[in-house]
Amino acid sequence: MSIVKIENVRVLDPIAKTDRIETIFLQNGTRVDASDDVERTINGQGKWLMPTMVDLCARLREPGQQQHGTLKSEGRAARHNGILHVITPPDSKPIVQDNGSLIHGLQEKAMLDGGIYLHIIGAQTQGLNGKQPANMAGLRKGGCTAVSNAHAPFENDDVVIRTLEYAAGLDMTVVFYAEEPQIAKDGCAHEGFVASRQGLPMIPVMAETVAIAKYLLMIEATGVRAHFGLLSCGASVELIQIAKAKGLPVTADVAMHQLHLTDQLTDGFNSLAHVRPPLRSAQDKELLRQGLKTGIIDAICTHHEPLSGSAKMAPFAETLPGISAFDTYIPFGIQLVKEGLFSPLEWVEKVTLEPARVANMVKRWQSESGWVLVDPELEWTVSKENMLSKGKNTPLIQQKVQGKVVEIFLP
């Protein structure tokens, strides 16, 4: 039961809403009173101490796609980058998230192999086929508190309504990654000048906003609690703002890369910038930032999607979408602070307490969170060698960034 003393560290505590420099004592990841029984002392000057993070959307690729990532490789990457609770969509291959009895085994494996708490969003329809509701009661019994059809289309709107009514009766959250398939079609890039000049199939903003508008009407009619993940457009922020003003039970998140990167990165058919939803315009990026700042968007997620090198070695439209995001999550967050969008404490809230609230797990997160020591000034170059994720697919390869987790203290 050793005690660690951290001197003169900037403690960012979103629960107490405090941001101050102090000396603290940690015993197995938990704050304790001052003690003489100190085994180790750390000079925390210039460093930040924050709780471990909660990620609302990450794909770890296991089961079924271990060539891209495993619970061991991606769990380790998440944990060592300060992310302890990881929530994953139900679209693994094969799909097992429509069977509540299989979910507990995956969660145990994630802790044993990767040292993380895995939270699995259940399938909204059987096998994500979009036709028949999944056994949500069984999923609830298996530990799922939310369901989603991920990016799989529904056969028709009647199926959507029936699943929303089913979820509402079980007090489950429905997670939407909103995209209207008839509008998005076979697109792979934002509808704009860059994609048009390169002749890439495009995904207009309307593919997202039409879907959100339709789902909001269904949410209002059924009363189901809903979360909109991975917003990419400024117009989507406006729709969520209207829904919240009406009192609808909705929340939203945005991927960290959408707050920094734009469709300009796809110039030259840069497949490392191929992600879905696509990187949007500079104006969309600014409106997403403002939506987050004002609280219309509740939280930030990684949208981590590790991919093997071969998955990005094809013509742009034929490559798999996805960015490996665990290793750059802290530097991107600190960049938001350095650019003046957030205070350090405000940023910490968006990656810890707020996603825990969205996932209805604040008490559990508090009891299991531990602490993360961050050096916000540490400069390093992103490389395939120093990324912990098995996926090296990031447009930040060989770029200098600032900020890194230097130590974690867990219960």
Split at pLDDT 50, 70, 90, the class of 36 is: confident
Residue 349 has pLDDT above 90, yes or no: yes
User: Whole-number mean pLDDT of the chain?
Assistant: 96
Q: Tell me which of 138-142, 182-186, 363-367, 395-399 is least confident.
A: 138-142
The Cα-based distances of 24 to 51, 125, 410 in angstroms read 14, 48, 15
Residue 240 has pLDDT above 90, yes or no: yes
The tokens describing 128, both together, are 């994500």
Q: How many CA atoms lie within 13 A of 88 on its CB side?
A: 31
Going by C-alpha positions, the residue among 368, 305, 335 that lies closest to residue 54 is: 368
The Cα angle at residue 313 between residues 308 and 315, in degrees rounded to 5: 140
Q: What is the mean pLDDT of residues 148-159?
A: 96
Going by C-alpha positions, the residue among 164, 89, 158, 98 that lies closest to residue 125 is: 98
Burial class, 2, CB count within 10 angstroms (exposed 0-12 / middle 13-18 / buried 19+): exposed
Phi, psi of 126 (to 5 degrees): -60, 120
Q: What is the mean pLDDT of residues 227-249?
A: 98
The percent of residues in the chain predicted with pLDDT above 70, rounded, is 100
Residue 98 has pLDDT above 90, yes or no: no
Q: What is the pLDDT of residue 281?
A: 98
Query: What does the pLDDT look like over 210-234, one tens digit per residue?
Result: 999 999 999 999 999 999 999 999 9
Phi, psi of 211 (to 5 degrees): -65, -45
Query: What does the pLDDT look like over 10-32, one tens digit per residue?
Result: 999 999 999 999 999 999 999 99
Q: For residue 61, what is the enclosing H or E element?
A: none
Q: What is the pLDDT of residue 104?
A: 87
Q: What is the pLDDT of residue 333?
A: 98
Residue 191 has pLDDT above 80, yes or no: yes
Alpha helices in 271-379 (DSSP H): 282-293, 329-338, 344-351, 353-358, 362-368
Residue 124 has pLDDT above 80, yes or no: yes
Residue 343 has pLDDT above 70, yes or no: yes
Query: What does the pLDDT look like over 37-90, one tens digit per residue?
Result: 999 999 999 999 999 999 999 999 998 899 999 999 999 999 999 999 999 999
Split at pLDDT 50, 70, 90, the class of 353 is: very high
Q: What is the pLDDT of residue 262?
A: 98
Task: Please tell me the distance from the alpha carbon of residue 303 to that of residue 278, in angstroms, as a whole number.
Answer: 12
Q: What is the pLDDT of residue 51?
A: 98
Residue 335 has pLDDT above 70, yes or no: yes
Q: What is the pLDDT of residue 29?
A: 93
The tokens describing 242, both together, are 């209207």
Split at pLDDT 50, 70, 90, the class of 1 is: low
The DSSP result for 89-133, as a single string, is -S--SS--TT-HHHHHHHHHHIIIII--EEEEPEESBGGG-SSSB
Q: How many CA atoms lie within 13 A of 367 on its CB side?
A: 5
